[in-house]
Structure 1
Amino acid sequence: MKTKLACRALHEKDEQRMTRAKFFVIALVCSFGWYIVPGYLFTTLTSISWICWAFPRSVTAQQIGSGMRGLGLGAFTLDWTAVASFLFSPLISPFFAIANVFIGYVLLIYIVLPLSYWGFDAYNATRFPIFSSHLFTSVGQTYNIPAIVNDKFELDLAKYEQQGRINLSTFFAMTYGLGFATIASTLTHVALFYGREITERFRVSYKGKEDVHTRLMKRYKDIPSWWFYSMLGATLLISLALCIFLNDQVQMPWWGLVFASAMAFVFTLPISIITATTNQTPGLNIITEYAMGIIYPGRPIANVCFKVYGYMSMAQAVSFLNDFKLGHYMKIPPRSMFLVQFIGTILAGTINITVAWWQLNTITNICQEELLPPNSPWTCPGDRVFFDASVIWGLVGPKRIFGSQGNYAAMNWFFLGGAIGPVIVWLCHKAFPKRSWIPLVNLPVLLGATAMMPPATAVNYNSWILVGTIFNLFVFRYRKSWWQRYNYVLSAAMDAGVAFMAVLLYFSVGMEDKSLDWWGTQGEHCDLARCPTARGVIVKGCPVV
């Protein structure tokens, strides 16, 4: 649906006064000019958490109101990057998907999490911050990860036993449980709702009639199969060489590469279907980490490599298919699409590695939040989650976190709940076929609504849901012709304007470390949101209850 509308938006003739090109330029200039305000002059606009301003000395109020470190009640943003950075643009997501995300988000953040934290104190929740991806000791102190790692980057069991079990914030534990449910529900949901259609389309692809798009694309030379096979073979050989000849650095055995590739192959189809229908992509990160952690515990780098080959390769495959589908509708020659994807991947990978290497060797204490100055932009929330995940699943291992030797074994029941959930929805659909809203209940999206949290925060979700609802319910309903003509153009212009200004700000003031220091650039002013509420827990900068 969204691909066809995007195609129409680019192909329709401009019969109104303002062409799409002109609208794009105007929207881009506005986005470009505005981003200097939340991006540099008034950064507090990224998370307007007014409850924290009203209650500057209350830990509980700031936990409830903080958009970055709490539940984000009433928090919103005037920064497009906060709206579209994690869940992508809400302007191009169908409303039923936004509704599923909204329900899943509300259930976790405003029902389950408050009950677990203040109601039942589940897993000693009040000893830790309400919203955190950090790892803690049983007394609420930050876990000393380097102390339990030996010279080979493996777990030192004696030191681990001395420091005690790793504890997670209740929020972090719940997000992992929902991750278990999401991957299980994805398989069940696709099998029940799309199993027959997959089979029929597979048969039609061999002997069915070609649609108009396929007939028009016949004028171009198709991509030879050996291009794909050659690339697959080359990448597998290089990866196997890394596993064999650099095993001390990579840690992952050769069979790990084969296993990761097999997982990516199996899950690509069902996850592609969820992506195509909802614009939301369930991830394989948790299940790949879990599987390798069970089979090969105590080796964090091997776990990270396994996740990259299993999860990232699947995600890139889905993105590749998405681009080719758009190219198919836009009548772009397949070979040109392939070459652009290939060259772009090489360039992007090279540039990313170069920039990351430069940053690690240039920026002091990068990604070490406790050593950085307040409101530093180099806290790396996404990388922090990646690092903590390598500790949980790779270094310590799921058996000592979610197994018999850990505190969170009950989270494994989420696998069963996720697998059963779509069955219930499917049976309800069969029992009440006239209720058209029932098949719109998409549990992979609903259960995986908060999959990006952390590093995404409440203010990201609040704003994404609000903007997506406004455009889908009001603009689409009452200004449908405008929506079809300009919606995708507006989304692209907003992204482009922000990107250009971000680059300009970095090279003009970021590299010279020129920053403003006033109330509007000192964060969201919710410093107490990171504090625990249990009695007697001592955390630097927090009041002792």
Structure 2
Amino acid sequence: MTISEEITSPLIDQSKQVQVNASSSNKPDSNELELLNSSVEQVSLTVPITDDPTLPAVTFRMWVLGILACMILSFLNQFFWYRREPLSISSISAQIAVVPIGHLMAAVLTRRVFFQGSKWEFSLNSGPFNVKEHVLITILANSGADSVYAIHVVTAVKVFYKKNLNFGVALIVVVTTQILGFGWAGIFRRYLVEPAAMWWPQNLVQVSLFRALHDKEERPKEGLTRNQFFIMSFICSFAYYIFPGYLFPMLSSISWLCWVFPDSILAHQLGSGLKGLGIGAIGLDWSSISSYIKSPFASPWFATANIGAGFFLVMYVITPITYWLNIYNAKTFPIFSDGLFTSSGQKYNITAIVDQNFHIDLDAYNREGRLYISTFFAITYALSFACLTATIVHVFIFHGSDLWQQSKSALNEKKVDVHTKLMQRYKQVPEWWFISILLLNIVATIFACEYYKDQLQLPWWGVLLACGLAFSFTLPIGVITATTNQTPGLNVITEYIIGYIYPGYPVANMCFKVYGYISMKQGITFLQDFKLGHYMKIPPRTMFMAQLVGTMVSAMAHLLTAWWLMDTIPDICDRAVLPSGSPWTCPGDHVFYDASVIWGLIGPRRIFGDLGYYSAINWFFLIGAMAPILVWIASKCFPSQGWIKFISMPVLLSATINMPPATAVNYTSWLLIGFLSGFVAYRYYRNWWSRHNYVLSGALDAGLAFMAVLLYLCLDMQHVSLDWWGNHPDGCPLASCPTANGIVVKGCPNYETHI
């Protein structure tokens, strides 16, 4: 079974594909291009099979608009990341906004050629605003749209641990973790960009939008062009977001079960979309739908179904059973929480167990007692263990032969699709460029960790070990991302490894995680951008340059924004001190900080090892390894049951990997939209889906982003707010209350009288 056979159904007849010599320089005619079209139907329906190599890509407009978009998106995404409902403004917003500006610059800028006849010759106006420079602007904007994970380290040290971290040291960590991924991307390009089966579903949203904005299209009878549909959807999204964004925030999580039983802890636990199981809860807010799992419109149906199965299994089978059987004293703690607790359900005093050298004080830890987490939090860690081994085994048994063949045929003849054929006319990026950047960053990281060891705590061998992990997992996780639009994470296994080897040092644990996990994730982000350039026929060297510049600009802008917010907002992230209703609660940073305590400060041996309370969850490493094997056996034993081959255990087991900070309502609403798009529309309204599905996703993103920024500038900055019952999301205040006898927590009633 090939990769493409596994991930799509139905497929274009593969007998129509022809085998071409990879080194051939003959220009294919239109009939050959049709024959070479992608075997992935979503791609063949969305991506154009033409190219105009005469279009200028690197222009003055591209640099100005691209860098400006990167800086603005970096500022906005970092700014909103600290808020209670983190808003992720995608590059699609910039993709839309720069179009009229690009056309305006093409109309008004002088076309004078400076330094004519020399190698420095350039012009401010290269002619009409074209799609290739638009793609490069979007690539630069993409750098600002992605979060800079290393900022979590800065926030944890400065805000939560309240320790010193120099700006220069923070900048080195942020830049090196972002750039390190170039090395992994360069090494694995041939496996994750060139093959047609590696189709990167998320890119099809932007490809559709580029076509809507640049293709000349006749309006179909009784229908709309892509551009008209986008404009209408954008206006509706923009206008609607004023309700969940300001007038009626409860639309983000409508938990009607809590309204029916306002005094029942059990009903609140079951019905809360933000702090409970989310039964019946739904969010009518695009930001809550797409904030953690990306757009449901971009997810193939088989991946959506796997996520739905995983979510149902965890939230409605495993969690209720473990909670009501009181496994790990589950009833002593909230049913859904990322908090750290004492044995009596109270908040754990972390500062009491940290000594003056920023190391664990074991005597103080013994006095304070063992640290506990909610049973749901323990389950998410167990599933992270299972996901890791499942990813390795799944890729080996389902894709191993394909990857081996690609390795052997890298320099020989191989099947290519139209997009790879067209890209062969451009100069490729030499692999030594990537290797040089990789080695330079490793050396710089080792130097920083050794020279600033008192602040970063990570020894030189820890850097090399982290890089080894990133290298080992980029390919298997890249295959999962490129075919399902979901990215299993390495964050837990990196914490686990360094926590065992080097316990008691929280900053070392965090740094190891960002170098081992984020450099891999950045590599996958670069590969996804390379595939976007591949689809849009952007010269690879030009793509490389835009990505490198965008990453540097984004790293600096994110760090400056975060540093400014931490210095100017009183008590940022401190939920116990912040005034009621304050948006600066930092949900993602809380989870990151909690993880640094569990894995770094206290260490996995005292939590999940022989000295810990949760040691049994280590069996999930074995469970994860066995799961794909069972699927493979079932597919061989029951070949007539075609649906079995679409079961992806890495996706299923990692379905709830974003929880917390993601909540139940983020999933219930996402799954509903994913079903309507990936199953109903794709199967029964194929023509509408091919024209409008990805365009609708982009329009919803853009409309929400523009209204969110407008609301902040016009209302939030002026401290204009509403205070009524619809202004309180969820409306389930009892969902976080414990239900064990004798456990008293501030703000919670006695459970026995409030069942």
Q: TM-score range by the shorter chain?
A: over 0.9
Specify the alignment match of 2:502 in structure 1.
296
1:145 maps onto 2:350 in alignment: yes
Q: 1:227 aligns with which of 405, 425, 433?
A: 433
How far apart are the structure 2 equivalents of 1:481 and 1:15? 15
Specify the alignment match of 1:199 in structure 2.
404
How far apart are the structure 1 equivalents of 2:699 and 2:546? 22
User: Aligned AA for 1:497?
Assistant: G
Specify the alignment match of 1:481 in structure 2.
687
Specify the alignment match of 1:69 in structure 2.
275
How far apart are the structure 1 equivalents of 2:46 and 2:706? 23
How far apart are the structure 2 equivalents of 1:490 and 1:334? 29
1:98 maps onto 2:138 in alignment: no
1:350 maps onto 2:556 in alignment: yes
| Residues 375, 523 of structure 1: 8 Å contact kept | no
How far apart are the structure 2 equivalents of 1:516 and 1:328? 48
Question: Which shows bigger deviation, 154-163 or 504-513?
Answer: 504-513
Q: So what's the TM-score if we normalise by structure 1?
A: 0.97
User: Aligned AA for 1:193?
Assistant: F
Residue deviations 1:407-451 (CA, integer Å, cap 9, x gap): 100000000010011111111111222221111111101111100
User: Aligned AA for 1:305?
Assistant: C
How far apart are the structure 1 equivalents of 2:44 and 2:433? 28
User: Aligned AA for 1:7?
Assistant: V
Q: 2:526 aligns with which of 320, 331, 344?
A: 320
Q: 1:167 aligns with which of 348, 353, 372?
A: 372
How far apart are the structure 1 equivalents of 2:305 and 2:495? 29
Residue deviations 1:314-340 (CA, integer Å, cap 9, x gap): 111111111111211211111221122
Q: 1:516 aligns with which of 701, 722, 729?
A: 722
- Report the CA distance shift for 1:494/1:529 in structure 2 as closer, same or farther (over 3 A): same
RMSD of equivalent CA atoms: 1.4
How far apart are the structure 1 equivalents of 2:424 and 2:741? 71
- After TM superposition, the structure 1 = structure 2 runs for residues 292-441 of structure 1, keeping only pairs within 5 Å, are 292-441=498-647
User: Aligned AA for 2:47?
Assistant: C
Specify the alignment match of 1:250 in structure 2.
456
User: Aligned AA for 2:665?
Assistant: V
SS in 1 for 2:409: helix
| Residues 3, 326 of structure 1: 8 Å contact kept | no
SS in 2 for 1:371: coil
Specify the alignment match of 1:154 in structure 2.
359
| Residues 178, 447 of structure 1: 8 Å contact kept | yes
SS in 2 for 1:370: coil
| Residues 303, 394 of structure 1: 8 Å contact kept | yes
What is the CA distance between 1:4 and its match in structure 2?
A: 4.8
- Report the CA distance shift for 1:3/1:291 in structure 2 as closer, same or farther (over 3 A): farther
User: Aligned AA for 1:112?
Assistant: I
User: Aligned AA for 1:73?
Assistant: I
Specify the alignment match of 1:16 in structure 2.
219
The structure with higher relative contact order (CA 8 Å, sep 6+) is 1
Question: Which shows bigger deviation, 196-205 or 441-450?
Answer: 196-205
Larger Rg: 2
What is the CA distance between 1:95 and its match in structure 2?
A: 0.8
Residue deviations 1:67-105 (CA, integer Å, cap 9, x gap): 000000000011100000000000010111111111111
1:529 maps onto 2:569 in alignment: no
How far apart are the structure 1 equivalents of 2:45 and 2:461? 44
| Residues 181, 416 of structure 1: 8 Å contact kept | yes
What is the CA distance between 1:16 and its match in structure 2?
A: 3.0
What is the CA distance between 1:3 and its match in structure 2?
A: 4.8
Residue deviations 1:378-402 (CA, integer Å, cap 9, x gap): 1111111000000000000000000
How far apart are the structure 1 equivalents of 2:552 and 2:690? 35
How far apart are the structure 2 equivalents of 1:388 and 1:155? 14
SS in 2 for 1:530: coil
What is the CA distance between 1:25 and its match in structure 2?
A: 2.1
| Residues 300, 395 of structure 1: 8 Å contact kept | yes
Q: So what's the TM-score if we normalise by structure 2?
A: 0.71
Residue deviations 1:459-493 (CA, integer Å, cap 9, x gap): 00000101100112221122111111111111111
Specify the alignment match of 1:7 in structure 2.
47
What is the CA distance between 1:301 and its match in structure 2?
A: 0.5
What is the CA distance between 1:5 and its match in structure 2?
A: 4.5
User: Aligned AA for 1:170?
Assistant: T
Q: 1:42 aligns with which of 248, 264, 274?
A: 248
| Residues 403, 409 of structure 1: 8 Å contact kept | yes
SS in 1 for 2:516: helix
SS in 2 for 1:528: coil
Specify the alignment match of 1:130 in structure 2.
335
How far apart are the structure 1 equivalents of 2:739 and 2:46? 49
Specify the alignment match of 2:381 in structure 1.
176
How far apart are the structure 2 equivalents of 1:70 and 1:375? 20
Question: Which shows bigger deviation, 187-196 or 15-24?
Answer: 15-24
User: Aligned AA for 1:110?
Assistant: Y
SS in 1 for 2:712: helix
How far apart are the structure 2 equivalents of 1:87 and 1:30? 23
Residue deviations 1:37-81 (CA, integer Å, cap 9, x gap): 101111111111111111111111101000000000000011100
How far apart are the structure 2 equivalents of 1:236 and 1:325? 26
Question: Which shows bigger deviation, 232-241 or 434-443?
Answer: 232-241
| Residues 189, 423 of structure 1: 8 Å contact kept | yes
How far apart are the structure 2 equivalents of 1:484 and 1:196? 32
SS in 2 for 1:152: coil
How far apart are the structure 2 equivalents of 1:3 and 1:308? 33
| Residues 4, 329 of structure 1: 8 Å contact kept | no
SS in 2 for 1:75: coil
SS in 2 for 1:150: coil
Residue deviations 1:345-385 (CA, integer Å, cap 9, x gap): 11211111111111111112111112222332211111110
- Report the CA distance shift for 1:481/1:54 in structure 2 as closer, same or farther (over 3 A): same
Question: Which shows bigger deviation, 482-491 or 384-393?
Answer: 482-491
How far apart are the structure 2 equivalents of 1:512 and 1:299? 42
Question: Which shows bigger deviation, 349-358 or 288-297?
Answer: 349-358
How far apart are the structure 1 equivalents of 2:475 and 2:667? 27
SS in 1 for 2:642: coil
Ranges in structure 2 where 5+ consecutive residues have no aligned partner: 1-39, 49-207
Specify the alignment match of 2:263 in structure 1.
57
How far apart are the structure 2 equivalents of 1:251 and 1:511? 39
Ranges in structure 1 where 5+ consecutive residues have no aligned partner: none
How far apart are the structure 2 equivalents of 1:470 and 1:434? 27
Residue deviations 1:15-39 (CA, integer Å, cap 9, x gap): 4342222222222222112112101
| Residues 402, 408 of structure 1: 8 Å contact kept | yes
SS in 1 for 2:699: helix
How far apart are the structure 2 equivalents of 1:379 and 1:268? 33
SS in 2 for 1:476: helix
How far apart are the structure 1 equivalents of 2:514 and 2:271? 35
Residue deviations 1:167-209 (CA, integer Å, cap 9, x gap): 1101000010011000010000110001101111222221014
Identity %: 54
